[in-house]
Amino acid sequence: DIQMTQSPSSLSASVGDRVTITCRATESIGNHYLSWFQQKPGKAPRLLIFAASNLETGVPSRFSGSGSGADFTLTISSLQPEDFATYYCQQTSSVPFTFGGGTSVEIK
């Protein structure tokens, strides 16, 4: 199975900060098979980024994704109050389609 490791597991940041979350796979998964999700308490995950760097319709442009092979990054260019949430990466290259352990973004 492909393991997905996110770092950090949590971070504290202020409104306006630039935030970067990394996701590393135990093997190359290509560019097409990496997604990023945002989840708020009591809600289903929401797709932010697909195919590593493509912004989902309706997602603010302050979110961006990059990377290839086994190393990927989610960046929030200027953190907004509504961005405080938990973020997950997921690979869909090979079953089982595993998720990272999550990164909780908290208010400093």
Nearer to other proteins, 79 or 87 (CB): 87
Nearer to other proteins, 18 or 32 (CB): 32
Nearer to other proteins, 17 or 53 (CB): 53
Contacts 24+ apart (CB under 8 A), 24-31: 24/70, 24/71, 24/72, 25/70, 25/71, 25/72, 25/91, 26/2, 26/70, 27/2, 27/70, 28/69, 28/70, 29/2, 29/69, 29/70, 29/91, 29/93, 29/94, 30/68, 30/69, 30/93, 31/67, 31/68
Task: Give contact residues for other proteins (rule: CB under 8 A).
Answer: 32-33, 35, 37, 39, 44-47, 50-51, 56, 88, 90, 92, 95-102
